Amino acid sequence: MKVIFQGLLFATLSAALTNIQCEDSTRKDWNSMEQMLVIASKNLPRSCVRIQSKTSESLSSGILIDRDGTILTVSHAIEADLSEVTVLFIDGEKGVASIVLHDAERDTAILKLKGSLPEQAVPAEVAAPQPKSKQKMQPVVAVGFGGSEQAAVRFGFGYLDPKSGNWVTTCRLTAGDSGGGLFTLDGELLAIHSATDAIQAMRSHHIDLSQFSAGESTNLVDASHSVR
């Protein structure tokens, strides 16, 4: 399994940790963050899949969230008239998934894999619902197949926008990342990649998990934070 790491964290950490004037508490924080990111870069791509729509050029990403084969992605990467798509796992295995939900207004889609999961595939752990009252910046990790057969892991900072109810981050997304996952450094899934800001290239948008629903009033994640 090959993983591409992209971001400024390691360079920043290196500079901070080699600075003799760095306080011990700050040094410990950076060390902890570095260790968490190394673990994330190894584990998180196992939940990420590539989604092939009608044509071989139409590739996007998706995130596996349950052993039953439930996959979250974005609707703009899947033609509305399709009933199923091809799913490519990180170990190279292929599968077929039916389209359970295609919501163009919210740009959300839910897939259900037909058959069993490959051994390498590990569902993502879903994060607890985040409060929408505060725009608190936090370190995040983005995972997706941005124009490559290898999963890319990108570090950045982001917050949950109280107006849109979705996440805004500094993670640099590229073509093919749509449908990938935004995670905490602890490896919990927060949102699904949607788009890069057309005006501010350093800003990306991600759909909060609360936007995914299997019905008019049924959220994907229930009060106990487990996947429905």
C-alpha–C-alpha distance, residues 140 and 185, integer Å: 6
What is the CATH number for 10?
2.40.10.120
Assign 55 a pLDDT band (cuts: 50, 70, 90): low
The amino acid present at 123, given as its one-letter code, is P
pTM confidence score: 0.81
Helix (H) or strand (E) holding 72: strand 70-73
Rounded to whole angstroms, how far apart are CA atoms 203 and 54?
29
Q: From CA 25, how far away is CA 124, in angstroms rounded?
A: 31
Task: Return the C-alpha torsion angle 89, 95, 101, 106, nearest 10.
Answer: 30
What confidence tens digit (pLDDT) does each residue in 22-31 have? 344 444 566 6
- Contact between 126 and 115 (Cβ < 8 Å): no
Residue 48's domain comprises 1-228
Taking only the tens place, the pLDDT of each residue in 95-124 is 999 999 999 999 999 999 998 898 889 999
Domain count, the chain: 1
